[in-house]
């Protein structure tokens, strides 16, 4: 259909600007939706990481490790996860 539509536009140049504007709008909207989807995936990924880090810190605290020991072991600051 796309090829047929392009041929039609070539035969009727008066519709060229309209077609280009429509195509640009469709492309822009597609890109916007893709970006929103990717941002949502990223937010979900970060939340899952935070939950995993919280579990690790709580388990380490339950085993009697200090904040300094936990930080050395896991490689991140555990203080934001401590109530």
Of 6-20, 46-60, 65-79, the poorest mean pLDDT is in 6-20
Structural domain harbouring 9: 2-81
Report the domain count for the chain.
Answer: 1
pTM over 0.75? The answer is no
Average pLDDT for the chain: 90
Q: How large is the average pLDDT for residues 38-42? A: 94
Q: In this structure, are residues 50 and 58 in contact, taking their beta carbons and an 8 Å threshold?
A: no
- DSSP for the chain? -HHHHHHHHHH-GGGHHHHHHHHHHHHHHHHHHHHHHHHHHHHHHHHHHHHHHHHHHHHHHHTT--HHHHHHHHSS--GGG--
Alpha-carbon distance of 44 to 48, in angstroms, equals 6
């Amino acid at each position: 259909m796309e090829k047929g539509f392009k041929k039609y536009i070539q035969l009727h140049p008066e519709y060229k600007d309209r077609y280009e504007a429509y195509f640009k709008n469709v492309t822009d909207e597609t890109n916007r939706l893709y970006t929103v989807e990717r941002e949502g995936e990223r937010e979900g990924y970060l939340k899952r990481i935070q939950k995993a880090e919280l579990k690790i810190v709580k388990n380490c605290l339950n085993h009697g490790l200090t904040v300094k020991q936990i930080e050395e072991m896991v490689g991140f600051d555990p203080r934001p996860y401590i109530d």
